[in-house]
């Protein structure tokens, strides 16, 4: 057998050994070894629970708890057999019976009962309740966590592999807490079994001593009582350690360090609390009858610790102020190149309040890394190269605030308080934090302290870290302003890339039929309606055919959309169903008759009252669909589509507008979910 295979067979061999303990007698020396192993195993498990950062790092604990409980009960059976058969069960039990309780049955019984009360009433009862609540709330929070993972995946913040790993972690967490809910019953049963075994051993020992060995009741109680108490303590101490381990593992929440480091950091975060406690300890020492020396030592230690924390905080503040002053006093260059750089308007900027600069940390999941991942995702999905995002701090912003700028103009603003996470849900009243509104979807939420993340998840809320909030907001801003971000240089780079794989499509179109500026205008028109331009070769082929007839920008955009018809419809499918809102035929005919060309594109000439009726009908239809948790598109005649889009885009939350040909291009099932009408009849 290879050495690497030994761990694989360790647990099966242990289970077989436990079965043998229940059947075969063991010599006292071997029982001593097994008892020592049992105590040390419980100690190792307890120490391991102290050093794990999160419960899933010790996911084998529920199974290990069952095996350890069976092992301990097997030792109880083996020791009982020796006590009753030989009147001796090894040196360990003998030492616990004579040394640990001074050879007194009464003292031993009292200590044993105290240990049972501690284990059963205090530790086990609390751990059982925590495990039960943790299992229920973890299962309730699973849908929200899965939605958060899907949102990060769709936003390009994580890869498919990372999403799969996070889904597996969510599932493993639910399985773990479910298993702990059941495993906590093992600890409870173990405590009850310890009491019953003690009583049985004591009664059986007295009976054997009196009936078989001819002892008096006093001698039998003294001899077998001491052995029974020793056996009970030997079993109860590791049982208590396992109960404490159970409570420790189920009360741990996600952290970045072990419990010792976390407790030290968090207990020492308040200098005032330590100073007050130290002063109180010294004052208590002067109460008449109190031992003053221990109080003075403990109080002085607390005062000294508080003083050191204050000194360290002052040094850190002085270092930060010195660094800031050094940066402010650094000479600034006034060369033409530097001045031009300072004058340059950046296409895309993120401004952070000074207390948010920690988001740019250089870690694997920091803001800069997430922004790079977002740029890659947008390039793949939309076909545009997002310009580099300039990130800098701004003292003009309020605390915990960030702003997103497009070409020097603010396009979005939000908050992301330090050491906080955003909880989105309906049962957040019991959690501390600042209420807010999620900037992209307008959902009500609350910024809660990061250490309460697990508590927020247990309420069923979806919890999002602040970097994800900012990056999701940035993605929405880029989507809304993609047309502005597409520069002529970008168009040149894109066309050069198409030339390498489809040179005929580009060379025939640019510059022979369309200039680079005209092609840019067409692509901007597509991006303004969130139409991806990654299939640039097909777009150029469609524009080549249209440009032979007319170079009207609106006609060029529509010809490009026609070439991308299946893609446009596929983006709005629910499975194989496309839900559409139609326009009443009478109203549509009146719109066609009122269609007029203009410099800004085609317009529908209707009186203001009729237009308001149409827009109101569109809003009602969209609201009815959204109330059902669905989404739909507005369809109309191809000639009307550009004008209808201009009319409703600002009134219906960016409702997509497709022509009949575009809606049917994907070969999907059309389901009509609404009709737009005018309340008053429209004259022809």
For residues 368 and 464, membership in a common domain is answered with: yes
**Looking at the structure, do residues 400 and 428 belong to the same domain, yes or no?**
yes
Q: Which residue has the tokens 């350690």?
A: 241
Whether 162 and 83 share a structural domain: yes
- Calpha distance 44→245 (Å, rounded): 10
C-alpha pair distances (Å), 603 with each of 5, 15, 112, 587 = 78, 82, 90, 15
Q: Please give the residue range of the domain that contains residue 384.
A: 342-482
Considering 526, 548, 563, which residue would you say is the last residue of a domain? Answer: 563
Measured between alpha carbons, how far is residue 4 from residues 1, 11, 471 in Å? 8, 14, 45
Please check whether residues 394 and 301 belong to one and the same domain. no
Q: Which residues of the chain have pLDDT under 70?
A: 1-8, 97-105, 119-122, 124-127, 130, 133-135, 137, 140-141, 154-157, 183-184, 187-188, 252-264, 324-343, 361-365, 652-653, 679-684
Quick one: 576 and 663 in the same domain?
yes
Residue 324 placed within a domain: no
Cα four-point dihedral sign 598, 600, 604, 605: negative
Please state, in angstroms and rounded to a whole number, the distance separating the CA atoms of residues 557 and 312. Answer: 64
| CA distances, 105 to each of 80, 226, 228, 621 (Å) | 17, 6, 9, 83
What is the Cα–Cα distance from 601 to 556, expressed in whole angstroms? 12
Residue 684, in any domain of the structure: no
**Is-contact 27 147, C-beta < 8 A?**
no
State the pLDDT at residue 364: 44
Would you list the DSSP string of 304-323? HHHHHHHHHHHHHHHHHHHH
Residue 240 neighbours by CB under 8 Å, 6+ apart = 115, 118, 119, 123
d(Cα 242, Cα 42) in Å, to the nearest integer?
6
Is 404 in contact with 416 (CB distance < 8 Å)? no
CB neighbour class for 369 (10 Å; exposed up to 12, middle 13-18, buried from 19): middle
Claim to verify: residue 392 and residue 513 sit in the same structural domain: no
pLDDT of residue 343: 65
CATH of the domain at 548: 1.10.8.540
Q: Are residues 52 and 151 in the same domain?
A: yes
63 shares a domain with 50 = yes
- Looking up tokens 């680079």, which residue turns up? 516
Q: How far, in Å, are 141, 145, 176, 187, 563 from residue 171 at the CA level?
A: 11, 10, 9, 25, 43
- Phi, psi torsion values for 536, nearest 5 degrees: -70, -30
Question: 242-255: buried (b, 16+ CB within 10 Å) or exposed (e) per residue?
Answer: bbbbbbbbbebeee
How far is Cα 43 from Cα 626, in angstroms, rounded to an integer? 57
- Only one residue has tokens 């390039």, namely 379
- Which residues 6+ apart lie within 8 Å of 668 measured at CB? 569, 570, 573, 576, 577, 578
User: Is position 7 within any domain?
Assistant: no
Does 421 reside within a domain?
yes
Per-residue DSSP letters for 201-229? Answer: HHHHHHHHHHHTS---HHHHHHHHHHHHH
Per-residue model confidence (pLDDT) at position 636: 93
493-517 b/e with 16+ CB inside 10 Å = b?
ebbeebbeeeeebbeebbeebbeee
Q: Where are the alpha helices (DSSP H) in 330-388?
A: 336-343, 367-382
Which strands make up the sheet holding 401-406, listed edge to edge? 390-393, 348-352, 401-406, 409-415
Number of domains comprising the chain: 5
| Shared-domain flag, residues 67 and 186 | yes
H helix or E strand, kind and range, residue 506:
helix 503-509
Is 550 in the same domain as 576? no
DSSP letter at 433 equals S
- Please report whether residue 336 resides in a domain: no
CA separation for the pair 656, 677 (Å, rounded) = 18
Tell me which of 225, 260, 295 is where a domain ends.
260
Backbone angles phi, psi at 27, to 5 degrees: -70, 155
Q: What is the pTM of this model?
A: 0.56
Q: 359 and 254 in one domain?
A: no
Q: Which residue has the tokens 């033409």?
A: 336
Please enumerate in sequence order all residues whose Cβ is within 8 A of that of 417, keeping only pairs 6 or more positions apart, or say none: 400, 434, 447, 466
> DSSP secondary structure string, 530-549?
T-----HHHHHHHHHHHHTT
Same domain, 350 and 460: yes
Tokens standing for 527?
């991006």
CATH number assigned to the domain comprising residue 370: 3.40.30.60
| Token pair belonging to 671 | 């389901």
User: 102-134: per-residue pLDDT in tens?
Assistant: 666 677 777 777 777 776 666 766 667 767 766
**326 lies in a domain?**
no
At residue 478, the pLDDT reads 92
Cβ atoms of residues 454 and 254 within 8 Å: yes
Task: Phi first, then psi: give them for residue 465, nearest 5 degrees.
Answer: -75, 160
Residue finishing a domain among 219, 240, 260: 260
């Amino acid at each position: 057998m290879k050495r690497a295979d030994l761990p694989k067979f360790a647990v099966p061999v242990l289970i077989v050994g436990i079965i043998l303990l229940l059947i075969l007698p063991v010599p006292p020396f071997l029982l001593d070894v097994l008892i020592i192993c049992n105590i040390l195993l419980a100690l190792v498990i307890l120490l391991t629970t102290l050093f794990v950062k999160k419960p899933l790092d010790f996911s084998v604990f529920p199974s290990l708890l069952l095996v350890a409980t069976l092992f301990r009960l097997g030792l109880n059976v083996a020791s009982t057999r020796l006590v009753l058969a030989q009147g001796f069960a090894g040196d360990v039990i003998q030492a616990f019976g004579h040394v640990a309780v001074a050879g007194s049955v009464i003292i031993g019984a009292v200590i044993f009962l105290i240990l049972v009360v501690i284990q059963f009433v205090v530790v086990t009862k609390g751990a059982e309740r925590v495990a039960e609540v943790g299992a229920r709330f973890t299962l309730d929070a699973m849908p929200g966590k899965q939605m958060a993972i899907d949102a990060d995946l769709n936003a390009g913040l994580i890869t498919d592999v990372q999403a799969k790993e996070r889904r597996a972690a969510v599932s493993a967490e639910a399985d773990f807490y479910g298993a702990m809910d059941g495993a906590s019953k093992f600890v409870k049963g173990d405590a009850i079994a310890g009491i019953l075994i003690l009583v049985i051993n004591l009664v059986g020992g007295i009976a054997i001593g009196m009936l078989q060995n001819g002892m008096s009741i006093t001698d039998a109680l003294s001899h077998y009582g001491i052995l029974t108490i020793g056996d009970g303590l030997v079993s109860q101490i590791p049982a208590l350690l396992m109960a404490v381990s159970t409570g420790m593992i189920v009360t741990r929440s996600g952290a970045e360090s072990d419990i010792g480091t976390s407790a030290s950091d968090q207990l020492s975060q308040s200098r005032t609390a330590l100073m007050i406690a130290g002063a109180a300890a010294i004052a208590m020492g002067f109460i008449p009858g109190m031992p003053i020396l221990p109080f003075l030592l403990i109080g002085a230690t607390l005062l000294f610790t508080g003083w050191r924390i204050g000194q360290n905080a002052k040094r850190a503040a002085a270092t930060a102020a010195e660094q800031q002053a050094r940066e402010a006093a650094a000479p600034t260059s006034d060369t033409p190149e530097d001045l031009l750089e300072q004058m340059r308007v950046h296409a895309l900027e993120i401004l952070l309040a000074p207390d948010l600069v920690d988001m740019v940390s250089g870690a694997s999941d920091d803001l800069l890394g997430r922004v790079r991942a977002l740029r890659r995702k947008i390039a793949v999905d939309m076909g545009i190269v997002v310009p580099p995002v300039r990130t800098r701090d701004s003292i003009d912003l309020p605390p915990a605030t960030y702003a997103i700028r497009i070409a020097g103009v603010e396009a979005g603003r939000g908050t992301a308080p330090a050491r906080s996470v955003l909880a989105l849900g309906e049962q957040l009243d019991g959690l501390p934090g600042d209420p807010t509104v999620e900037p992209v979807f307008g959902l009500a939420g609350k910024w809660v302290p990061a250490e309460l993340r697990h508590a927020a998840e247990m309420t069923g809320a979806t919890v999002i870290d602040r970097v994800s909030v900012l990056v999701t907001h940035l993605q929405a801003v880029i989507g809304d302003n993609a047309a502005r971000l597409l520069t002529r240089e970008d168009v040149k780079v894109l066309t050069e890339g198409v030339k390498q794989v489809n040179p005929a499509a580009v060379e025939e179109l640019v510059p022979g039929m369309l200039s680079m500026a005209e092609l840019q205008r067409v692509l901007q028109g597509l991006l303004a309606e969130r139409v991806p331009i990654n299939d640039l070769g097909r777009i150029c082929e469609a524009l080549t055919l249209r440009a032979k007839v007319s170079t009207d920008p609106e006609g060029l955009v529509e010809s490009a959309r026609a070439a991308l018809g299946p893609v446009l419809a596929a983006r709005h499918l629910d499975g194989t169903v496309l839900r559409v809102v139609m326009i009443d035929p009478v109203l549509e005919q009146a719109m066609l008759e009122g269609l007029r060309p203009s410099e800004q594109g085609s317009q529908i000439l209707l009186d203001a009252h009729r237009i308001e009726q149409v827009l109101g009908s569109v809003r009602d239809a969209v609201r009815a669909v959204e109330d059902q948790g669905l989404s739909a598109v507005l369809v109309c005649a191809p000639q009307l589509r550009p004008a209808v889009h201009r009319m409703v885009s600002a009134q219906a939350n960016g409702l997509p507008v497709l022509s009949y040909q575009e809606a049917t291009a994907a070969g999907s099932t059309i389901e009509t979910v609404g009709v737009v009408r005018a309340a008053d009849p429209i004259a022809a």
